Every structure is written in structure tokens, then in C-alpha cells.
Structure 1
Amino acid sequence: MAVDFENEIKQLRATMASVRDVTDLDRLQEQITELETEASSPNLWDDVDHAQKVTSSLSRAKAEHDKVTGMDARIDDLEALVELGQEESDAETMVEAERDLARLRKDVEQLEVRTLLNGEYDEREAVVTIRAGAGGVDAADFAEMLMRMYLRWAERHDYPTTVLDTSYAEEAGLKSATFEVKVPYAFGTLAVEAGTHRLVRISPFDNQGRRQTSFAAVEVIPLIESTDSIDIPENDLKIDVFRSSGPGGQSVNTTDSAVRMTHIPTGTVVSMQNEKSQIQNRAAALRVLQSRLLLLKQAEEAAERKEMAGDVKASWGDQMRSYVLHPYQMVKDLRTGHEVGSTNAVFDGEIDDFIEAGIRWKRGQERAQD
């Protein structure tokens, strides 16, 4: 069936119009101008941390601006290619136009997903925690596989990450790990990854080669900002210090620099051991604790609203994805139905399609409840 290029291009332009409205290119250009002025200051590198923040923010803002404006130019190029092919009745040119259209559709859809991220904290950077669940050493190994998957995903997009804490299991893998994804909209993007992940495979740790099902939990919270009003009285905190440990429980630090911070009223516990000093670990632990309490407060308010509305539906984030390596290979999202057979690619960070489907699904759930 012949492709209706006129209608396809019209739809692409309509989608890009909504993308530009949400992106607000004028505001973004103002931000770029301000950052360029700051980056050109001769004293910029007097504060290395601040300078790195300015330069990375400038790079991201330019990339976002260029991505939107560049897409408009690509649609113009496609339209010109189609006109040329039709005028000259050139079949080869029309085949090329179909290929360009397919690529454009996918890229525009990815930009469109950003327009769905309009939650209260969606613009924030993210703190991701992965915990091994039921399944013994297989679950700990699965937790490490998931951590690598998310770090590879971030690397593919040039998103900076910082590992804040790793608690190694005795035999292999991780009991838990916490890391930051330090780009705008990281929370809104990754929030759909929160929930219970399940792995089915022949256990490499079972001498009899039996099939094993193991679980890991993923938590995603927005990174706290200085403007957020989450005050924690000193009396509400219990702070313990200990030595950092590596795989197998071996000590990797000769001083008590690691910090475990407990919020007594809620029982929330945060551990940090990846910074070099106790002061740095304490500051990082407090930041993550404040972020968790902020999300907890938001969840409690949402639960109260649901209770008043008589909504008794289960949370959307539970038991959300299965990774099957035996007897067949498949990764399937149990909420959206999206599935692929390339399990190696998924564990190597190719999860954009799952994330995009999850964002669209979550937005649809929210609309249905409004």
C-alpha cells in the first residue's frame, strides 16, 4: 500500500508543534544565553564543581534545543525529498523517503514522550536504588545485572551518573545499590521502572542446573533540591558510622567513613559509603533521605486522595517486568504488554522502548482516574 506522505508529514508537524510548546524554545534559548555568559567568565574554574555543573548544563540545554530545531529541519528535508521523487517518478528516491519517514516517526515519538512528563517532580534528577529480593544468590546477581542495565542505558544517552552506595552480597552480586542519574527529567523518565522485576533462568549457581526464579526491587525517587521544604529535626535521626566494605565483605577503607542514617519516625534507612570522607557520605545520605521522605509525603497525600475517591486499585509499580532466559528468551512488561526477544540487548541498556511504553501507559492510567 502506498504511503500517504502528505498526511504523515502533517501528523509529524502537528506532534512537533506540541513538543515545541512544552519545550518552550524561547525560554530554553534564554537559559543557553545565561549559561554561555557564565561559562565565559574568567573566574569560572575557581570553583571546579560549579564550573562542571555550568558546562554540563549548557551542553544539555544546547543538545535539547538542537534536537527540537533539528527535527523540524529533517521534516522539511523529507518533504523536499518526497516532492522530488514524485515529480521525477523516481522509485529509488521514494524508497529512501520511506526509510527517512520511519526514522523520523520513531525520533518524533521519543520527543513526544517528553511532553507527557508534567508531574510535580518529573523535571528532577533521579536517585535509583536496586535491592535483591527473594531468590538467594541468584537475586543478588540479578540486582547487579539490573544496575549494569541502567548504568549502560545512561551511558548510551551520555547521562552522568554517580554511584552513592553498594552493598555486596557474600557469594556474588549485590544486596543493594544506590546511584544518581544527573540530568533533568531523569525522575520522570525512570519513575516507570519502579517496582518488582522478575528473572527466570537456569541458575549459574546451582550445581544441578535447575531453573530459578528470582526477584529484585527498583526504587526511583526525585533528587531533593535546596528549595524543598523537608526539614528533619536532629532528634529524628540516628547516625551510625562504619568501615566501607567491598565484595565478599572485605574492608576497602581503614577509617569509619561510611554512614548509615535512620529516620526514626518512619524507619527509613539510608547508607552511603562511596564518598571518601564521613562528611561527604553524611551529606549524600541526608540528601537521599530527604528525597525519600519527600516522595513518601507525596505518596501519603495521593493515598488520602484515592481513599476519599474510593479508589482501591493496586499500585501500578508492583510486579512490572519479567526477564525470561529459559526455556525461551523474552523480556515482557506486564503493565504495557511490550515485549522483546533480545534479552542481551535489554541487559546491555536498550530499554528506551520499555520506558516510553511505560510513560504512555502511566499517563493513560492517570487520565482514567481524573
Structure 2
Amino acid sequence: MDTELKDRCQNLIERVLQLRGSLDCDSKNRRIAEINDAMGGAGFWDNQEKAQKQVNELKTLNAALKPINELFSGSQDLGVLVEFAEAEDSPETIAEINETVERLEQQYQEVELQAMLSAPEDASSAYVAVQSGEGGTDAQDFAEMLMRMYQRWAEQRGFAAEILEVSPAEEAGIHSATLVIRGPYVFGLLKGETGNHRLIRMSPFDSAHRRQTSFAAVDVTPELDDSISIEIEWDDPKVIREDICRASGAGGQKVNKTDSAIRLTHLPTNAVVQCQNERSQHQNRALARKMMVAKLYQMEMDKREAETAARRGQKSRIGFGGETIRSYVLHPESYCKDNRSDYKTSHPQATLDGDLDPWIEAYLRWCLGVTQGK
């Protein structure tokens, strides 16, 4: 076994150990044991809401630990293979070591990416709001394309996606929509999608088939649990304006035909949320309030981040309604580019079909470089 391969193996094993320590796996394992003990006790399900929260926490912890545990186990196996190779330098063992190193390096990159999601809200599910911008019917169609993109991404990831409200446009597409995507670390993965998106293509809605530039805005906020709360005077008309309206939709048997859709406006910040998914006005109001708390929490986090970045002389992450974060160019060239990380691909349609993972990784690594002042 040559020295270069041995050093590479040793370096990888050491990096895995350091990464495992940084993820605080021991405390997570202790918490898993606590929840499992509680689930095995009498009366665990007496309080359904509390029990469900602990079950969801257990799922999140297990999902977080599974990749690092598999990586750690693989690094230990690699150490054994290295010992075998030193004792008997056979071509078969060397080939197996090379194959194992390549596989573990890829796993390490994936787990390292997860380690970047360290904020408390990163582990949460997320609300994704899409709103059409400049560009008329093309922008409305683009907004629907983005909504579909996030639904497809969730499907590919095995997450559950549910539309909470949608406002269809007159000719094609949508004016706006909000969906909730539930799963471990959804917010941490999608938080970089917040901002303006731009589409350049030959317009299918123009009789002359001219090139059209259109915009849509995306806002991603975490679905918070009760451990994070914001004080809001819900009954104060100077703070919250509540509008009750009929749920909109394209028609059909399942369309909510009652005046139960709830739109809340937080007057001090002009933040707006709407929910029409439930048939009960009370259920829609409860969910809309939860969405409002999440939006105000994220606005406060963005404000703090901007202040911190300004003190460091850095550029903060681009917020909702700010600069264009990504361009989808279908004509005359064919490419998709992130304006922050400079990540670029020549397959924009794959991105629009839900292949967001490369963009997520590029954004998180860009954030890490900004944090470290690179």
C-alpha cells in the first residue's frame, strides 16, 4: 500500500471523527434514548399534542444521525481495510480501499452539508410562498412553474407538500400561492430560495413569440413549534387586520365554497399571510396565525443578520423582494445561474423539474464562505 493512499485514508478518518464531534452526536443519542424511554412509559399518549411533538423530534433526530452514523461506521471499516492492506498488500484489497474512499468522500460531502444547518429553525419544515412579479401573464406562468418546482423537489426528497392557498391568474398561471413542505431540515435546505427569480424565454403568450423577461418572488419561512414564540396582539385592530373571503380555485368537487379563507396583515410590518386550505374558518385562522408568527420571526432573523453583516463589512444574504438571486435563461442560450454563489448549469429545465440539490449545496457553501470572510 503506497504512502499517498494511506495518508488519504488517515486524513479522511480524522475528518470524519472531527465532523462527528462537531455535530454533537452524543447529546443527540441521549435525547433519543430519553424519548424512547418516555414512549415506552404508561400514559405517553394521554397528551396527544405533546406526544406527537416528541415523535416528530425523534424522527428529526434519527434522520440527522443516520448519515453521520453510516459515515462513521464506514470510516471504521476503512481503518480495518488499511490494516489488512499493510499486512497483505493484495491488488484486491487496494481496489476495495480505493472504492471505499471514493464512496466515503461523497458521503462526507453530504454530511458536511448537513452540518452547515446549525440554526435552531433549520431543522423545521417550511412555508414556501410564491408571488408573480413583473412580466404579466409570463410572470404568472413562471410563478406556477416555481410552485411546481418546489413540489417536485419535495416529492423527490420524500417530503410531504401541501398547498395552503393559491390565487389563480386570469389567463394562465397564478398570482400567488403558499405551500407547506414537511420533513427534517426542509427550512435549512430551502432558505436560500428566498428572493427574486428571473425567467428569460420566448413567450408562449405573445403572438409574435418575442423574448420576454419575467419575475417571481419566493419567500421561505420556518414552520415553528411552540418553543419559539412571538408576542402579537391578535385582537388589536392597530396591529392585526383580518380579512375573511371566499377561497379561490379553479373549481371542482373539492374546492372550498364557503367564506372561510383568512388573510392576516401585520400592520406595523405590512407582512401578509393567507390560508384557505381548511374548510373551517377557525382552522384557517389558527394556521394563518402560525404562519404569521413564522414570517415575523424570520423577518427579525433577517434583520439581525443584516446588522451583523454590516458590522463585519460583509454582504448579507438577499431577502424577499431584493435582488435577483437566480436566472433561468431558456433563450437565446440555455442555462441557469445563481447570482450569489455563481453556480451555473446548462440544464435549466432540470432545475425547473425539481433538481434543486446542487443549488442548495452551492448556496450553503457560499454562506459558509461569507461567514468565514472568504
Displacement of 1:169: 1.6
Report the counterpart of residue 248 of structure 2 in structure 1. 245
Match runs of 1:108-127 below 5 Å: 108-119=108-119, 121-127=121-127
- Compare 147-156 and 276-285 and name the one that shifted more: 147-156
What is the alpha-carbon distance in structure 2 between the residues aligned to residue 310 and residue 27 of structure 1?
32
1:294 aligns with 2:297: yes
Displacement of 1:85: 7.0
Contact 1:166 1:176 in 2 (8 A): yes
Report the counterpart of residue 264 of structure 1 in structure 2. 267
Displacement of 1:181: 3.0
Q: TM-score with structure 2 length normalisation?
A: 0.84
The count of residues paired between Structure 1 and Structure 2 equals 366
What is the alpha-carbon distance in structure 2 between the residues aligned to residue 47 and residue 343 of structure 1?
48
Q: Which runs of 5+ in 1 are unaligned?
A: none
Report the counterpart of residue 350 of structure 1 in structure 2. 355
In the alignment, which of 351, 360, 364 is matched to residue 369 of structure 2? 364
State the AA in 2 paired with 1:167.
S
Report the counterpart of residue 206 of structure 2 in structure 1. 206
State the AA in 2 paired with 1:182.
R
Displacement of 1:273: 0.6
What is the alpha-carbon distance in structure 1 between the residues aligned to residue 3 and residue 273 of structure 2?
55
Q: Cα distance 1:13–1:152, how it changes in 2: closer, same or farther (>3 A)? A: farther
What is the alpha-carbon distance in structure 2 between the residues aligned to residue 61 and residue 354 of structure 1?
25
Contact 2:306 2:316 in 1 (8 A): no
Displacement of 1:49: 6.3
Contact 2:13 2:76 in 1 (8 A): no
**Structure 1 residues 90-137: Cα deviation after superposition (integer angstroms, max 9, x where no partner):** 2x7655544443332222111112222334643443222111111222
Identity fraction in percent: 39
Displacement of 1:53: 4.9
- Compare 264-273 and 297-306 and name the one that shifted more: 297-306
Q: Cα distance 1:260–1:74, how it changes in 2: closer, same or farther (>3 A)? A: same
What is the alpha-carbon distance in structure 2 between the residues aligned to residue 334 and residue 7 of structure 1?
37
Report the counterpart of residue 222 of structure 2 in structure 1. 222
In the alignment, which of 281, 284, 300 is matched to residue 278 of structure 1? 281
Q: Cα distance 1:35–1:229, how it changes in 2: closer, same or farther (>3 A)? A: closer
Report the counterpart of residue 12 of structure 2 in structure 1. 12
Contact 1:199 1:324 in 2 (8 A): yes
1:336 aligns with 2:341: yes
Report the counterpart of residue 192 of structure 2 in structure 1. 192
**Structure 1 residues 163-201: Cα deviation after superposition (integer angstroms, max 9, x where no partner):** 322222222222222223333433232222211211222
Q: TM-score with structure 1 length normalisation?
A: 0.85
What is the alpha-carbon distance in structure 2 between the residues aligned to residue 41 and residue 324 of structure 1?
57
Displacement of 1:342: 3.0
What is the alpha-carbon distance in structure 2 between the residues aligned to residue 347 and residue 189 of structure 1?
17
SS of 2:103's equivalent?
helix
What is the alpha-carbon distance in structure 2 between the residues aligned to residue 306 and residue 328 of structure 1?
35
Q: Cα distance 1:8–1:280, how it changes in 2: closer, same or farther (>3 A)? A: farther
Q: Cα distance 1:94–1:212, how it changes in 2: closer, same or farther (>3 A)? A: farther
What is the alpha-carbon distance in structure 2 between the residues aligned to residue 64 and residue 36 of structure 1?
16
Displacement of 1:206: 2.7
Q: Cα distance 1:79–1:342, how it changes in 2: closer, same or farther (>3 A)? A: farther
What is the alpha-carbon distance in structure 1 between the residues aligned to residue 246 and residue 332 of structure 2?
43
Report the counterpart of residue 63 of structure 1 in structure 2. 63
Displacement of 1:261: 0.7
What is the alpha-carbon distance in structure 1 between the residues aligned to residue 222 and residue 100 of structure 2?
37
Displacement of 1:45: 6.3
**Structure 1 residues 35-60: Cα deviation after superposition (integer angstroms, max 9, x where no partner):** 33444467666777666555444344
Q: Cα distance 1:109–1:330, how it changes in 2: closer, same or farther (>3 A)? A: same
What is the alpha-carbon distance in structure 2 between the residues aligned to residue 338 and residue 206 of structure 1?
31
Displacement of 1:145: 1.9
Match runs of 1:7-46 below 5 Å: 7-40=7-40
Q: Cα distance 1:301–1:69, how it changes in 2: closer, same or farther (>3 A)? A: closer
CA RMSD in angstroms, aligned pairs only: 3.2
Contact 1:160 1:182 in 2 (8 A): yes
Report the counterpart of residue 163 of structure 1 in structure 2. 163
Displacement of 1:297: 2.5
In the alignment, which of 326, 329, 333 is matched to residue 331 of structure 2? 326
Match runs of 1:165-184 below 5 Å: 165-184=165-184
What is the alpha-carbon distance in structure 2 between the residues aligned to residue 285 and residue 80 of structure 1?
55
What is the alpha-carbon distance in structure 1 between the residues aligned to residue 347 and residue 3 of structure 2?
29
Contact 2:60 2:123 in 1 (8 A): no
What is the alpha-carbon distance in structure 2 between the residues aligned to residue 312 and residue 82 of structure 1?
44
What is the alpha-carbon distance in structure 1 between the residues aligned to residue 315 and residue 325 of structure 2?
15
Contact 2:163 2:178 in 1 (8 A): yes
Contact 1:243 1:251 in 2 (8 A): no
